[in-house]
Structure 1
Amino acid sequence: MGAHIADALGWPFTSVPPGQRLEFMEQIKFTVAGTAAAPAVNLAKLGVEVGAVGRIGNDTIGDFVRSTMNSYGVNTDNLVVDARRQTSASLLPIRRDGSRPALHVIGANAGLTETDVPWSIVEKAQIFHLGGAFILPGLDGAPMGRVLKRVKELGLTVTMDFLMSPRDDAQRVIGPSLRYVDYLMPNIEEAGWLVGTEDRQEIIEWLHTQGVGHTLLTMGGGGVSVAANGDKETVLPAYDISVVDTTGCGDAFSAGLISGLLDGLDVMGAAERGLACGSLVATGLGSDAGIVDRNQVAKFQQTQARLAA
């Protein structure tokens, strides 16, 4: 449940041409993205039965999001069409090193509320992933906390990733939800903005104090920090890959971790699969790059070299 976005990506981006001059790129691509939609697509690739909950607009971008997700096998019956807002979308000029600025329209994601939760479907699930805290104004804060509290009461495992820029009210917005989160998976930069420090140990300690069951902080080439509440962290080293685009790597990590948990792996084993999935996505352009299926991910884990810890 959460953010559903259509991305328009261009690679490689070097500079904005002056005036109305033309610059050429090697590739432009359109993908389904967002911290709910992208994990859903990758979970379907990994053979997981997954349903999407979110909002799209009554427009061609929304049609693209729904049809593309359907083509991968994601159930989109609970994507609500918002008649007042366009489908959320981003323009992403990708630099040669894989980094990128982002230009974003929040669109229909702003209309998502707790009334959109299909509880008859949720109660049949095993894991509830909330993707997009901080860019879901109709759900952020107390409503999100109420949703996750009820999810936990139904006996589901809760996973969460968020999408944020620095903001003064961040801890107040996310505070009501953290106690219900079993596995929290932000990138280290966003986690630092939330907690107000760049010290990783302070970040982990603060999140654990708020009640988070496990922190999984993705750190790009630094790997992934994994820590159960009250325990010291373990850092899993990154894979040695040629990075094309970092878009969607965190979403792919989420999908890999969730699929691992569903397979009965412990948190370290699930995080290892997540790390492999995130690395594969970084080797291509867009959130849907890299991952083919579970066998391919397993082979990558077995054969791909790792960077030094």
Structure 2
Amino acid sequence: MREKSSDLHVQAATIGIHIVDILGRPVSAIPSGQGMTLLDEIAMSAAGTAAATAYGLARLGVATATFGVIGNDDLGSWLRNRLQEEGVDVHGLHSASGVPTSATILPIRPDGSRPALHCIGANRLLDEHVIDFDVIKKARHVHIGGSFLLERLDGTPTARILKYAKEHGATTSVDVIGVPDADFERVLGQVYPWIDYFLPNEEDALMLSHSSSLHDAIRWFHGRGVRSTVITLGERGASVSEQGREEAVVPAYAVDVVDTSGCGDAFSAGFISGIIRGKSPVDAALIGTAAGSATAQGLGSSAGVKNEKELEEFMANTPYLGELRA
């Protein structure tokens, strides 16, 4: 008999966006007409703010279940198998007929940046009925990945999930995919009080808070009930601010950047793994910047460290890019 997610030992649960990324590098320009450009590398990655975070957590030895919707197609089968190979519990990854698995084509520029050509696909079908609340009850941490692109989960359903998780002893985190013309208040207004760790990037933090400075954004989120802001700053590392404490800035690590896709999700995985293991938010964020920096050295979300030992060696042997300000 196949086990249910609720029968398994789970430390972390991720809920949200599951994507297959198809990446190629280096792409300086898209050829016109039917022209062709030769690339050095093409890869596929398990990606998305729930899938890649689950993937990274499992690699770091955290027992992780993920919840989402994929298509009943070849890409969906590949994504399920890839997550399972890394040890992620995929019982909560539902297959839907008549809709494609979410996928993104990413032409990676020589500097590691990239545009995105995205098919939202099955992700728009994720709702509360997909989630096993017995897992949420038992998990030590619950992460929502992809607010603003979760049409049936954004707003009240997300607030209910996080409230339930906290009532049963879990810590919580939320990452967003910023959409400039979205209804910010509908999506997150009632969610903020249930967030222990809010994990946007700097651009999204400023946009969501209608702020012109990071300091003002942090104060705004705290005023809405967020316990701690953990805001990624790209090559400048990450800002960590707990309610009632001074902001700390942890550095990124000095690496040769190949591709920045998946770095934010790797950061989330590293940070959450630290929180689950009892680290302070600042120390957990340093694990996060290490995981994100390591991922930037290769192509795709799966390019980072393969296990906790590799991450520890990376942190011991790689210099900071900047200073730790705590």
TM-score, normalising length from structure 1?
Answer: 0.97
What is the rounded CA distance, in whole Å, between the counterparts of 1:83 and 1:308 in structure 2?
A: 49
**Map of 1:106 onto structure 2:** 120
- The question of whether the paired residues in 2 share the 8 Å contact of 1:165 and 1:193 is answered with no
What is the rounded CA distance, in whole Å, between the counterparts of 1:99 and 1:192 in structure 2?
A: 21
What is the rounded CA distance, in whole Å, between the counterparts of 1:90 and 1:176 in structure 2?
A: 30
**Map of 1:296 onto structure 2:** 310
What is the rounded CA distance, in whole Å, between the counterparts of 2:299 and 2:182 in structure 1?
A: 33
**Map of 1:77 onto structure 2:** 91
Alignment pair present for 1:211 and 2:225: yes
After superposition, the Cα gap between the structure-2 partners of 1:168 and 1:60, relative to the gap in structure 1 and judged at 3 Å, is closer
Matched residues, percent identical?
A: 43
Deviations 1:282-304 (A, max 9, x none): 11100011212111111111221
Deviations 1:49-85 (A, max 9, x none): 1111110011001001100001111110111111232
Q: SS where residue 63 of structure 1 aligns?
A: helix
**Map of 2:7 onto structure 1:** none
TM-score, normalising length from structure 2?
Answer: 0.92
- The question of whether the paired residues in 1 share the 8 Å contact of 2:195 and 2:226 is answered with yes
After superposition, the Cα gap between the structure-2 partners of 1:37 and 1:168, relative to the gap in structure 1 and judged at 3 Å, is closer
Deviation >6 Å, runs of 4+? none
**Map of 2:37 onto structure 1:** 23
Q: Which residue, out of 166, 176, 180, partners 1:152?
A: 166
**Map of 2:65 onto structure 1:** 51
Q: SS where residue 211 of structure 2 aligns?
A: coil
**Cα-Cα RMSD:** 1.1
After superposition, the Cα gap between the structure-2 partners of 1:288 and 1:198, relative to the gap in structure 1 and judged at 3 Å, is farther
Alignment pair present for 1:171 and 2:213: no
Deviations 1:27-47 (A, max 9, x none): 111111000000111111111
Alignment pair present for 1:256 and 2:275: no
Alignment pair present for 1:271 and 2:271: no
- The question of whether the paired residues in 2 share the 8 Å contact of 1:171 and 1:195 is answered with no
Q: Which residue, out of 7, 11, 14, partners 2:28?
A: 14
Q: SS where residue 171 of structure 1 aligns?
A: helix
Alignment pair present for 1:94 and 2:72: no
What is the rounded CA distance, in whole Å, between the counterparts of 2:267 and 2:101 in structure 1?
A: 25
- The question of whether the paired residues in 1 share the 8 Å contact of 2:137 and 2:164 is answered with no
**Map of 2:9 onto structure 1:** none
Alignment pair present for 1:162 and 2:176: yes
Equivalenced residues, count = 309
What is the rounded CA distance, in whole Å, between the counterparts of 1:106 and 1:12 in structure 2?
A: 25
Alpha-carbon distance, 1:143 to partner: 1.5
Alpha-carbon distance, 1:131 to partner: 0.5
Q: Which runs of 5+ in 2 are unaligned?
A: 1-14
Alpha-carbon distance, 1:123 to partner: 1.4
**Map of 2:236 onto structure 1:** 222
Deviations 1:126-178 (A, max 9, x none): 11111110110010111211221112111211011111231241233111111
What is the rounded CA distance, in whole Å, between the counterparts of 1:249 and 1:63 in structure 2?
A: 24
Alpha-carbon distance, 1:308 to partner: 2.5
